Amino acid sequence: MTARRLDGTLVARQIQDELRPLLDALRARGVRPGLGAVLVGDDPASAVYVRSKTKRCEELGLFHETGRLPATATTDQVLAAVEAFNGRPEIHGILVQLPLPPQVDAQRVLDRVLPEKDVDGFHPSNVGRLVQKRPRFVPCTPAGIMELLRRSGVELAGRRAVVIGRSEIVGKPMALLLMHADATVTVCHSRTRELPALTREADVLVAAIGKPGLVRGAHVKPGAVVVDVGMNRVADAALARELVEPERLGEFERKGYALVGDVHAAEVGAVAGALTPVPGGVGPLTIAMLMANTVKAALGPS
């Protein structure tokens, strides 16, 4: 069996197209949604991600501004950058690009973002609202995955779902959203014993643990829906030959690295019923939902 491809790029375009009437309504009121990003240091992946978000803002006509700080920035300096965006009415949403350098207290920084501008959904107030099933903003990656599953016709009520990973950004909110959709949810992590036995029970398996090719064919129930959240940069040639699709090996040779997921795509694709690709799966959805959250912030309380 060859798994059906769950096209995140296609769904992301649908989400962005659905934002245009809302943007027209805001423009009629003289409002242009604004996104402020705080970028600390020169991490290449973070810089690429911020550029992608900037590009989407420009495509949709959102105002955007990036506050850049050096890798040596202190917690107080990053807090000041957040406060500057908090105080500007033309900035409706604030994104703090993670990870932050080790000397910066990330939790203090995220807590400083005004809840009504917290378009990443990481403020304790927004986390609590998500737990209570009355969210203001849902973290963008899990929210995008739920849109992908819904629009792909994946039934969740009464199904078994397994999430590998327990991060605040993906794993925990993903489990909550699946639970709210009436799935029966198991959360696995680095200390979980007999992982394949648990993942083979899943009708829907979400891999978000940050280990290239961790999920193999033996982890997957035949016909399961598998969502690969991983975005791992692989420079080892032997590992790349194992994990990268043959048609992308030329890209690896040119760049000296390739992006791969947490799922061994060749093995899992032969077992699963549906699978997200890497790249082109979850990544575009994350950015689309950030745009949606920024527009929602500009619209104000409903």
Mean pLDDT, rounded, for 255-261? 90
Q: 302: pLDDT confidence band, cut at 50, 70 and 90?
A: low
CA distances to 9, 24, 109, 124 from 53, rounded to whole Å, are 14, 20, 20, 24
Domains and CATH numbers, the chain: 30-115 (3.40.50.10860), 140-283 (3.40.50.720)
**Rg over CA atoms, the chain:** 19
Before 279, cis peptide (omega within 30)?
Answer: yes
β partners of residue 63:
34
**Of 131, 177, 188, 172, nearest to 154 (Cα)?**
177
Write down the residue that tokens 């993903």 correspond to.
174
Q: Dihedrals φ, ψ of 92, to 5°?
A: -95, -30
Biggest distance spanned by C-alpha atoms of the chain: 57
What pLDDT, on the 0 to 100 scale, is given for residue 265? 95
* pLDDT one-digit tens code per residue, 280-296: 999 999 999 999 999 99
pLDDT at 251: 84
Count of helices and strands (H, E) across the chain = 12, 11
Whole-model pTM: value is 0.95
CA distance 43 to 195: 32
Mean pLDDT of the residues in the chain: 95
pLDDT-derived band at 1 (thresholds 50, 70, 90) equals low
User: pLDDT confidence of 50, banded at 50, 70, 90?
Assistant: confident
Quick count: other Cβ atoms within 10 Å of Cβ 195? Answer: 17
Nearest to 262 by CA among 239, 224, 221, 230: 230
Shortest CA distance to 58 belongs to which of 121, 8, 16, 113?
Answer: 16
Query: What letter represents residue 188's amino acid?
Result: C
pLDDT at 197 over 90: yes
| Distance from C-alpha of 168 to C-alpha of 139, rounded to nearest angstrom | 9
**Hey, which residues are catalytic here?**
53, 97, 120
The whole-angstrom separation of Cα 142 and Cα 173 is: 7
Q: How many residues does the chain have?
A: 302
Question: What integer pLDDT is reported at residue 139 of this predicted model?
Answer: 98
Question: pLDDT tens for residues 80-121?
Answer: 999 999 999 999 999 999 999 999 999 999 999 999 999 999
Q: What would the mean pLDDT of 186-206 be, rounded to a whole number?
A: 97
Q: How far apart are CA 255 and CA 243, in angstroms?
A: 16
Rounded distance between C-alpha atoms, residue 142 and residue 293, angstroms: 13
